[in-house]
Amino acid sequence: MSAPPPAVQPPAGPPGPLPHRFFTGYSDSESNFARVRRFHEDVEKEVRLILGEGVPGQGFVDFRDIRPGERWEDRVVENGVCTARAMLALYSPSYFQSHWCAHEWTVFTARLSRYRLNTGAKIPYLIGVRWQKPRQPWPEEVTAYQYVRRDPGSVYERRGMINLVPREEQDPGSPEYQEIVQEIADVIADAQDNPLPPLQLEETAGLGSAFGPESSLPVDVVLTYSPEDRAWGEWVHVHLAERRDVAVLPPECLSRAPTQLLRNSLARARRVVMLVSRHSLAEPGPNKEVLEKIYDDADLVDDLPRLVPLLVEDVPEEVVPELFPKDCRALHGIPDSDAVREIMLAAVDSPLPAATPLRPEPGFPSDAVSPFERELADKLSLATSLRDDDLRNVWFRATGLEASQLPNPRFKTRTWVLSVILAARSLDNGYERLAVALEALDNGAPETLEVRKLINTRVAEITSGSLPSTAPDTAVAPPSHST
């Protein structure tokens, strides 16, 4: 008697949902949600017409409010920015101020960079749209990617795509609107045949934003405050923004990496204004423990005078950080609003004291360091990896420099980086080695792109002969090839 046949196993289900064909990233007021939805749906319908109803897939757009304390990582997984085939970014002033949009844009461009690194091909699957007319130029990193363009006199260029979206459901839109929808849909449909490599969630943690409150873009003032102090924060923002470029660092940013973000803010801003209350000192963010680390950080001794804490309520002495400045200005309890404004502005505009190093540092004669090397040191010093003691040693080893040239670990970040630059000067392609090593650690990060751009510009100047070959930093020039 033969053995019974093996039991038939039921078919396994799919391993997971299909990647979205595209997702639409935007930052707009709730009153404009209907126009964002209409535009997204019109693009999605056009993509479906191109691919056919039998091809599965859909786009994604999120209209939920961002909840206080919500983890961006949860939102990333849900909207598929790590796996979607294409991205439609609706550029507006609010978009470039949003840390959510900045993270999404940065993750997707990191995937594009990985694809280009693996294949050598540059693909146009990040599709930027001039959603609203910009008040200021777009961040330089953004303009390096594809975005929809039209004739200067078009409604799209003069007023933005939002003013082309039909308001009535039965209105198909103007020929200009339909043409733009078709152009975008063609690119998204093409993306279905050229899938981008996905990015694992853990790989997104080290990516530096190209714009938004967590970026390294220079700004006059970074302002931060607790959610409970929002009314104070908005009041201070209005008065600071009258004559300054102000970036607000939201609480949901600071709750993830407060110490690093405060350091980054001090590196990019002329002043960092921090509203202090019992709430701010107790909640995740720049609380008492974080501020004690900041005020005790020897690397920040020259930057701390630009950190401007302002008390917006009476705070008990026992909850104030031990090293907190004794002359911290108080804005609360003053009935005259004009007087409060003058106190706040005087604190922000007060002259900075001369920097006093805590320990002697190596002196570099002015003629020993070129302007290029000083600028390179400035840009390298902003890289997240080089502000971490362990990672900067990994970067140093990746440069191929001799172990004996490793600078004193007690040096401040910029001094340490400058020492490495001077060591690399005498090597063939010495500066190029520094850029390549940083790309190995932080490929796609804005700071890495800035370093690469600076070095490529230097190479072009030397190659064209606009710089003398005897310049002290010509080690950046590419090696000659014999024939």
CATH code of residue 80? 3.40.50
State the DSSP string of 368-379. TS-HHHHHHHHH
* Residue 358 maps to a domain: no
Distance CA 191, CA 460 (A): 34
| Structural contact between residues 308 and 327, judged by C-beta atoms closer than 8 angstroms | no
* Residue 6 maps to a domain: no
146 and 105 inside one domain:
yes
Give, in order, the Cα–Cα distances in Å from 467 to each of 346, 365, 471.
Answer: 45, 22, 7
H or E element, residue 100: helix 99-119
Closest CA to 348 of 221, 181, 451, 250: 221
Q: For each of the chain's 483 residues, which pLDDT tens digit applies?
A: 555 655 555 555 555 567 788 989 988 777 788 899 999 999 999 999 999 987 888 888 876 555 545 555 666 666 688 889 999 999 998 888 887 888 889 889 888 888 888 888 888 899 999 999 887 888 878 888 888 999 989 999 999 999 999 988 888 999 999 999 999 999 999 998 888 888 887 777 667 777 777 777 778 888 988 888 889 989 999 999 888 888 887 766 666 666 777 777 888 888 999 898 888 887 766 777 778 787 777 777 778 888 888 998 888 877 777 777 777 888 888 888 889 899 999 988 888 765 444 344 444 444 457 888 888 888 888 887 787 777 888 888 888 888 778 887 777 788 888 888 888 887 878 889 898 988 888 777 778 888 888 888 888 887 776 655 444 444 433 333 333
293 and 344 inside one domain:
yes
> Looking at 147, 179, 204, which one is the last position of a domain?
204
167 and 132 inside one domain:
yes
Amino acid occupying residue 394: V
Distance CA 108, CA 126 (A): 8
Q: Could you tell me which residues come within 8 angstroms of residue 201 by beta carbon, excluding any fewer than 6 positions away?
A: 73, 76, 77, 82
Residue 87 confidence (pLDDT):
93
CATH for 293:
3.40.50.10140
* Residue 14 maps to a domain: no
Distance CA 129, CA 61 (A): 15
Residue 197 confidence (pLDDT):
86
Distance CA 361, CA 477 (A): 30
249 and 340 inside one domain:
yes
* Residue 362 maps to a domain: no
* Residue 426 maps to a domain: yes
Residue 352 confidence (pLDDT):
77
96 phi/psi in degrees, rounded to 5? -75, -10
| Structural contact between residues 25 and 101, judged by C-beta atoms closer than 8 angstroms | yes
Q: What is the sign, positive or negative, of the torsion defined by CA atoms of 181, 186, 187, 190? A: positive
| Structure-block tokens of residue 264 | 């980054």
Torsion of Cα atoms, 274 then 276 then 281 then 287, to 10°? 10
| Structure-block tokens of residue 28 | 């707009």
CB contact burial 44-54 (16+ within 10 A = b; e otherwise): bebbbeebeee
379 and 319 inside one domain:
no
375 and 340 inside one domain:
no
Amino acid occupying residue 410: R
149 and 232 inside one domain:
no
Q: How many domains does the chain have?
A: 3
Distance CA 43, CA 164 (A): 14
- Helices (H) and strands (E) counted in the chain, each on its own, are 18, 9
* Residue 50 maps to a domain: yes
200 and 228 inside one domain:
no
Residue 67 confidence (pLDDT):
53
- Domain range for 228 is 219-349
Q: Could you tell me which residues come within 8 angstroms of residue 461 by beta carbon, excluding any fewer than 6 positions away?
A: 467
266 and 407 inside one domain:
no
Amino acid occupying residue 371: P
* Residue 145 maps to a domain: yes
180 and 31 inside one domain:
yes
| Structural contact between residues 85 and 20, judged by C-beta atoms closer than 8 angstroms | yes
186 and 244 inside one domain:
no
| Structural contact between residues 197 and 111, judged by C-beta atoms closer than 8 angstroms | yes
* Residue 121 maps to a domain: yes
75 and 167 inside one domain:
yes
Closest CA to 58 of 104, 23, 97, 98: 23
Distance CA 204, CA 114 (A): 13
Residue 279 confidence (pLDDT):
82
Distance CA 154, CA 148 (A): 12
**Secondary structure letter of residue 162 according to DSSP:** G
How is the chain split among helix, strand and coil, in percent rounded to 5?
A: 45, 10, 45
